[in-house]
Amino acid sequence: MKTLISDMGGVIYSYDSQFDPVKHLEAFDIAMKKMGLENSDLNSMLAGEYQAIKNGDLITYPIKSGIDNLKENQKIYKVVVISMAPANTSKYILQNFGVDTSNIDFYNMADYGSKKDKESWKTIFKKYDSIDSIVEDGEANLKAANQAALNLGFSPKTFISMPNLAII
């Protein structure tokens, strides 16, 4: 089965109803400040993110086309979510959007390094027999992920939004 690597924020959801990436981060920062975590380490803030979502301080606005296409892609691809959030947060968001998460692998890139570092991506990619498509809305992150895949001998298609891969 082919493997699809996907980001979450900016691809599947946003914390901003207009899907503005700057406002998405601002909403995160406001929620962290409200929880008293604004000066905390990254792992503490990421753990706080889950609580902020559950208690309504962070509203996840679905990117409908991203979710619809992800559901279609699950029929023909092994989906691997690599985000800057703990697996339970990513899984919770997807489940709330009606996505079956039973066959999705979840990784928190914070456990591996930076999304801008191809070596961080390679650590995860080595676990798979193929990397066929990568969806990442951040240009530098997409470049690093693609370079990691290429270095491992894969030839992925890259996208900045979730396509319906069944029709491509």
What was the pLDDT predicted at 155? Answer: 98
- Count Cα neighbours of 71 within 13 Å in the Cβ-side half-sphere: 11
Delimit the CATH 3.40.50.1000 region(s) of the chain: 2-13+62-167
What CA–CA distance (Å, rounded) separates 108 from 49?
13
Write the pLDDT tens digit of every residue in 31-59: 999 999 999 999 899 999 999 999 999 99
Task: Give the start-end residues of each E strand in the chain.
Answer: 2-6, 13-14, 61-62, 77-83, 104-108, 133-135, 157-159
Closest CA to 123 of 152, 91, 101, 87: 152
In the block, residue with structure tokens 């930076």 = 114
CATH code linked to domain 2-13+62-167: 3.40.50.1000
> What is the 3 state secondary structure string of 59-102?
CCEECHHHHHHHHHHCCCEEEEEEECCCHHHHHHHHHHCCCCCC
Write the pLDDT tens digit of every residue in 66-123: 999 999 999 999 999 999 999 999 999 999 999 999 999 999 999 999 999 999 999 9
What CA–CA distance (Å, rounded) separates 72 from 92?
19
